[in-house]
Amino acid sequence: MDMIIKNGTIVNASGTIKADVGIKDGKVVCISDSISDSECENIIDASGKLVLPGAIDAHTHLAMPFGGTVSSDDYFAGTRAAACGGTTTVFDFALQDFGEKMTDTVKRRDALCAPVAAVDYSFHVAVKDVENGLIDGIGECVEIGVPSFKVFMVYDFGVTDGVFFQVLQKAKEVGALIEVHAENNELVNMLTKKYLSEGKTSAWYHYMSRPEFVEGEADERAIQWAKASGAPLYIVHLANKQGVEAVTKAKDEGYEIYAETCPQYLEFTSEVYKREDGRNFVCSPPMKGKESQDAIWEAIRRGDIDTIATDHCPFQSTEKDWGKDDFTKIPNGCAGIENMYPYMLSAANEGRISFEKAVALCSANPAKIFGCKTKGAIAVGKDADIVIYDPTIDFTITNEKMHSDCDHTIWEGVKVHGYPVQTYCRGKLVYDNGEFVGEKGYGKFVKCSLK
């Protein structure tokens, strides 16, 4: 064996046991009450610690051209920050260009990512164009190990309901999974125009132009198209109560509908947009009111939210400042890749959810939903993606201690109870007590399959 993690408490989504973990060639090869020290020289003592599967962040936008600029974490900075927050796999959105074959989109982004990724990674294709046979790219991407696709109902590259439905039908045919960013584009545009014309330009009007019903209606419509097409659907960054209720209903009716939410919706409400630095919190969908926040927490406990992901899409302060006097000029997105696992584990440490639930949401469920067979649990045969977590550490998030290239964080000052002390990606130590110790280019592409 190359390494033994001894005396720790292993937490998987399926349960918790006190056992040792043996690792060889980047894989878990043994889990036992006690593995003898004679098996290898590299012994990690995890007494008093939790031993957890690495998190999978199924929603990132690294080096993404968006909002008149490019998100400020490239594939190295983003995956470095991921490692330091206990995330060992990221799924990034590869945004198709108009006229581009989807397999070329994946190749184009992989050429940027592969040389620098510090942890493992995969892609979802964000679909813009299905004309002139490009829809066949969905089946072609499934073949190369990228079986998940996102459509946007908003932004200037959002798809029409017709294209969305066509994409769902193709997904059903070839065994792909469609994700959706659900907001009603026409209402967003109308409300935005109205507030600007009234001289209401602060960050608060970002929220006011995308209130609860703008997202809720689109969630319901998206679920309607999924039901009609017979294809499964994954709703990304769900942030409102009406949408939660629609997901619960569809699940109860037996439809394969998955829901993801993000830590920012669990921690912050729309009140943040009244703050002096409100523009830093501008993302879409925006944080909503307390009623929605409570509904999301409740849905997590009930099992109607399947995954937590970050929607990590940071922009520098100077870029956020473009919208000081006009909320429509603020690039949409916030940093969070390093905060997801510590935040959800802290919620477990404080008794809001169980540790098994935190692991299910952040690791086991995304692995299962996106067909990532070698990840999502500490089990013999799986990749040795492991986080050693000290539940006794108190940590106050501050940008100085983060490992992203972004110059600020919306998480500044938020306190978490418990923190990762080490992260291993396929058996290699990539984070050690506050420091990134991984390697540029170590991360490997993870081929996914929904079969």
Binding site for Zn ion (CB under 5 A): 181, 311
Q: Where are the beta strands (DSSP E) in 263-414?
A: 307-308, 386-396
Number of residues that this document lists for the chain:
451
CB of 123 to ligand URP, least distance (A): 14
β-pair type (20-24, 50-53): unpaired
- Indicate whether 109 belongs to the interface with ligand URP (CB under 6 A): no
Tell me how far apart the alpha carbons of residues 18 and 124 are, in angstroms, rounded to a whole number.
Answer: 36
Give the per-residue contact string, 216-255, with ligand URP (x = CB under 6 A; - = no): ----------------------------------------
- Indicate whether 333 belongs to the interface with ligand URP (CB under 6 A): yes
- Indicate whether 311 belongs to the interface with ligand URP (CB under 6 A): yes
Which one of Zn ion, ligand URP, none interacts with residue 85, CB within 5 to 8 A by kind?
A: none
Which one of Zn ion, ligand URP, none interacts with residue 332, CB within 5 to 8 A by kind?
A: ligand URP
Q: Exposure string (b/e) for 86-97, b if CB count within 10 Å is 16 or more? A: bbbbbbbbbbbe
Cβ nearer to ligand URP, comparing 366 with 427 = 366
Choosing from 283, 300, 308, 361, the residue that interacts with ligand URP (CB under 6 A) is 283
Which one of ligand URP, Zn ion, none interacts with residue 212, CB within 5 to 8 A by kind?
A: none
Q: Which phi-psi region, left, alpha or beta, contains residue 351 (left: φ > 0; alpha: ψ -120 to 50)?
A: left
Cβ nearer to ligand URP, comparing 106 with 188 = 188
Tell me how far apart the alpha carbons of residues 286 and 433 are, in angstroms, rounded to a whole number.
Answer: 33
Task: Look at residue 269 and give its three-state secondary structure.
Answer: coil
Residue 414 tokens read as 């938020």
If we measure between CA atoms, which residue out of 272, 233, 277 comes closest to residue 255?
A: 233
CB of 129 to ligand URP, least distance (A): 18
Cβ nearer to ligand URP, comparing 333 with 420 = 333
Q: First and final CA of the chain: distance in angstroms?
A: 32
Q: Which of residues 132-191 bind ligand URP (CB under 6 A)?
A: 181
Choosing from 90, 313, 347, 384, the residue that interacts with ligand URP (CB under 6 A) is 313
Helix axis angle for 161-174 and 212-229, nearest 10°, is 40
Cα 408 to Cα 119, 307, 318, 376: the distances in Å are: 23, 26, 11, 30
Count residues near ligand URP (CB under 6 A).
8
Residue 11 tokens read as 């937490």
Tell me how far apart the alpha carbons of residues 363 and 150 are, in angstroms, rounded to a whole number.
Answer: 20
CB of 183 to ligand URP, least distance (A): 9
Cβ nearer to ligand URP, comparing 66 with 389 = 66
Say how far residue 29 (Cα) sits from the centre of its chain.
28
CB of 400 to ligand URP, least distance (A): 24
Choosing from 202, 284, 365, 422, the residue that interacts with ligand URP (CB under 6 A) is 284
Cβ nearer to ligand URP, comparing 11 with 313 = 313
Cβ nearer to ligand URP, comparing 73 with 311 = 311
Cβ nearer to Zn ion, comparing 20 with 129 = 129
- Interface residues toward ligand URP, by CB under 6 A: 61, 181, 283-284, 311, 313, 332-333
